Structure 1
Amino acid sequence: MTLFTHEALWIDSTAAGRYRFHEDHPFHPIRLALTEDLLDASGALRPDQKLQPLSEPPDEALAWIHRPDYIAAVRALSEETPAAQAVASAAQFGFEPDGDTPYFPGMHEAAAAIVTGSITAAEAVMSGQTRHALHLGGGLHHAFQDRGAGFCVYNDAAAAIRWMTRKYAAKVLYVDTDVHHGDGVQWSFYTDPDVFTFSIHETGKFLFPGSGFAHERGESSGYGACLNVPVEPYTEDDSWLESFSTALERVIRVFKPDVIVSQHGCDAHALDPLAHVHCSMRIYREMPRLIHRLAHEWTDGRWIALGGGGYEHWHVVPRAWGLLWLEMTEHPLLASIDASPVGAPLPAVWPRVVSPRRPDDLPRTWLDDTAAWAPMPRRAEIAAKNLEVLALALQHLG
């Protein structure tokens, strides 16, 4: 058994603050500042828990995941005034000024720094420095070998996974809980039997990126090392948690990983503006609790957690990511959160982040008062459909 120096480490995401498309873009780094502010105000993030990213550039790791011409295009488009030739080919590589993933000055440096942060988390866990590591700046799961997509330039999750398979010959279980299918990571390892990709997300019938169906199970020697659990629009907590827990328990028993990498996009919440799943903060309390338990049961605690999507910056993301860190550190605050249906009160001083977009109606408790929510129509039908899809998805697992 590895003698870990720390139980959990927080990878500094300051560099991710430079990953900013424009001020009105939904993928805004204020999410990171609000989360850190919440944990600091709660007394839940100490200086000795913070780890600075590695200093060496991730060029080798980028080349393991992305094509040389794509990396060259990203570099060219990162200039303050890109050359005409680079601008003319931008759309070919997924970058359009009016699209989801527009290029911006310093894009390569900011995206590469995010890759470095996720590799730092992987190295800290695999070297025995810590059992758990959290890099909220990471989780950019839509970037492909040859193009950017879905707000993602470089695929830091895939790079960190490849780092572990190459340097440590590790079997890696990737768990993606973003409401959008983790397509870029899946396709990076679709033929690799040593990386299992599991994604639970809103069905691609209605939501970007239009993939992640139950029949996507891997190919060649990687067949069976891929599981997708697409859920219906307006899925609520009970159905989401049943699908997630049933699938994850099965996957980990069958695959027996050495380490877990989890992506924690928190856009399956009812308030998120970019999807249609109708869950509450409850899933963001229960989901990391399950991953944490399974990590200790199966991987000697080795668990790397990354950020991801989440576009309700003030009401959802800080609480969801805050709950993740509280679980990773087994913070005493969890006892009071679990003692009430709405959780413990948030710190009265939060948020201290200054922004002209600060809403008037901020949340005041860690969890949601779902008793005040109107029940979703067709709840029973949605839950039944999710169970049907889950059974189909699990057919290829023993």
Structure 2
Amino acid sequence: MSAKAVFIHHPDAELYRFHEHHPFDPTRLQSTIDLLIRCNALEPDDIIIPQPADDEALLTVHRPDYVQAVRQLSEPAPPADAAAAADKYGLSDEDTPYFPGMHGAAAAIAGGSICAIEAVISGQAKRAFHMAGGLHHAFPHRGSGFCVYNDAAVAIKRVQAQNDLRILYIDTDVHHGDGVQWVFYDDASVFTYSIHETGKFLFPGTGFLHERGTDSGIGACMNVPLEPYTEDDSWMDSFRATVEEAARLFKPDIIVSQHGCDAHAYDPLSHMHCSMRIYNEMPLVIRDLADRYTDGKWVALGGGGYDKWRVVPRAWSFVWLAMTDHPLLARIQTSAESPLTLSEDWRQAWADEAGGIDALPEEWLDDLLQWTPMPRRDAIQAANQATCSRVLQK
């Protein structure tokens, strides 16, 4: 009998850390898992530990010379010629610097995403969550934007080799999902959808309306670039209208979604002004699309998110709560007059590491009455509406 949802995590994914002060911090994984366990949404024994991706899997996306460079740069003392070539492979800048053990940690993450998609395709589960995945900026020939191996693309390539499938990839990270888009840009069987802050102001500087695919993949790519300081209503209106149309037109066999949670107002690496509400609602929209178009087959990955205490644990917990139809989700959604508080023992457990109990959120949803109203709200909404109209016209 298949499970409704499986949770996949390899402990070596927690070794994916560039350096102590880098914003891509694996503490996000540990604190989220702990929150889910403490609120009785996850049993430790139910976590599936995947096999790391082998070279055969990695080479379906990445060039042999790049994988070899990653291996060499993962050594405690990389060979001089490998270190000299690090810049060529995008592994020497402040965003994605090489580090000891890099290959093993990145391969564990890629293996987790392969395990997730194979669990759903095989019928082992209807849904699968691999929180450490979603490294969507990596390219076949170089690392980029904190990403070494493109686990989403590797996982999709793995099941493509064994199945004739139409795969809808939905990317909700505030940064455009460029690496996945370019890997499948000429592939009509993979529809890449990305909603993000416009590349006019934010890394990676891509994801514009005219990027719609090439050759046989023309039309199998949809980008929804939103204005800086977009808020909840405009984000969700834009997301619902466009992702619904993408699913309706493409009619996928499976959905793979990436849940970067860096469009939140607290995130230090973007300019958006959304609250926890969008991270509560977007997984439910995707779940509904999966139920209607793919017989429920849905794989969810993590991604960005750099407020590791106030945002990421809550946002990624919402994905798992939606996947499992956990009763806590209904309690959160119906608690407008009396907001539901987070597990107090979780707050106490992480208080010292977070820098004090006040650094941790008290409630599942943000109290927007405490936020300063955003200037130019009407103009931002109008610009986003115009963008969505252009998206839908195409």
TM-score range, shorter chain: over 0.9
Shift of 1:48: 5.4
1:136 aligns with: 131
2:33 aligns with: 36
Q: Deviations over 1:256-302 (max 9, x none)?
A: 00000000000000000000010000000110001011101110110
2:377 aligns with: 379
Indicate whether 1:7 and 2:10 are aligned.
no
1:75 aligns with: 71
Shift of the 150–359 alpha-carbon distance from structure 1 to 2, 3 Å rule, reads farther
1:369 aligns with: 367
Task: In structure 2, give the amino acid aligned to 1:70.
Answer: Y
Tell me, what secondary structure is at the counterpart of 1:215? coil
* Pairing 1:253-268 to 2, within 5 Å after superposition: 253-268=248-263
Shift of 1:359: 4.0
Pick one of 159, 172, 177 that aligns with 2:172: 177
Task: In structure 2, give the amino acid aligned to 1:288.
Answer: P
Shift of 1:227: 0.2
Task: In structure 1, give the amino acid aligned to 2:388.
Answer: L
Tell me, what secondary structure is at the counterpart of 2:174? coil
Indicate whether 1:206 and 2:201 are aligned.
yes
Shift of the 332–167 alpha-carbon distance from structure 1 to 2, 3 Å rule, reads same
1:109 aligns with: 104
1:50 aligns with: 47
Shift of the 359–188 alpha-carbon distance from structure 1 to 2, 3 Å rule, reads farther
CA distance, structure 2, for counterparts of residue 68 and residue 359 of structure 1: 46
Whether the aligned pair in 1 keeps the contact of 2:51 and 2:108 (CA below 8 Å) is: no
1:66 aligns with: 62
Shift of 1:15: 1.8
Task: In structure 2, give the amino acid aligned to 1:260.
Answer: I
Indicate whether 1:188 and 2:162 are aligned.
no
CA distance, structure 1, for counterparts of residue 103 and residue 291 of structure 2: 36
Matched-pair identity in %: 59
Q: Deviations over 1:314-346 (max 9, x none)?
A: 000000001111111000111210112374110
Indicate whether 1:389 and 2:387 are aligned.
yes
Pick one of 224, 228, 236 that aligns with 1:233: 228
Task: In structure 2, give the amino acid aligned to 1:381.
Answer: A
Shift of 1:99: 1.4
Whether the aligned pair in 1 keeps the contact of 2:37 and 2:44 (CA below 8 Å) is: no
Indicate whether 1:89 and 2:89 are aligned.
no
CA distance, structure 2, for counterparts of residue 308 and residue 95 of structure 1: 19
Shift of 1:360: 3.8
Shift of 1:171: 0.9
Shift of 1:50: 2.0
Tell me, what secondary structure is at the counterpart of 2:345? coil
Whether the aligned pair in 1 keeps the contact of 2:351 and 2:357 (CA below 8 Å) is: no
Shift of 1:167: 1.3
TM-score normalised to the size of structure 1?
A: 0.96
CA distance, structure 2, for counterparts of residue 110 and residue 327 of structure 1: 28
1:197 aligns with: 192
Alignment length, in residue pairs? Answer: 391
2:20 aligns with: 23
Task: In structure 2, give the amino acid aligned to 1:204.
Answer: G
CA distance, structure 2, for counterparts of residue 354 and residue 160 of structure 1: 36
TM-score normalised to the size of structure 2?
A: 0.97
Q: Which 5+ residue runs of structure 1 have no aligned equivalent?
A: none
CA distance, structure 1, for counterparts of residue 333 and residue 354 of structure 2: 31
Task: In structure 1, give the amino acid aligned to 2:268.
Answer: P
Q: Deviations over 1:160-185 (max 9, x none)?
A: 11112111221100000000000000
CA distance, structure 1, for counterparts of residue 351 and residue 367 of structure 2: 27
Shift of 1:58: 2.5
Shift of 1:357: 4.0
Whether the aligned pair in 2 keeps the contact of 1:13 and 1:135 (CA below 8 Å) is: no
CA distance, structure 1, for counterparts of residue 312 and residue 239 of structure 2: 20
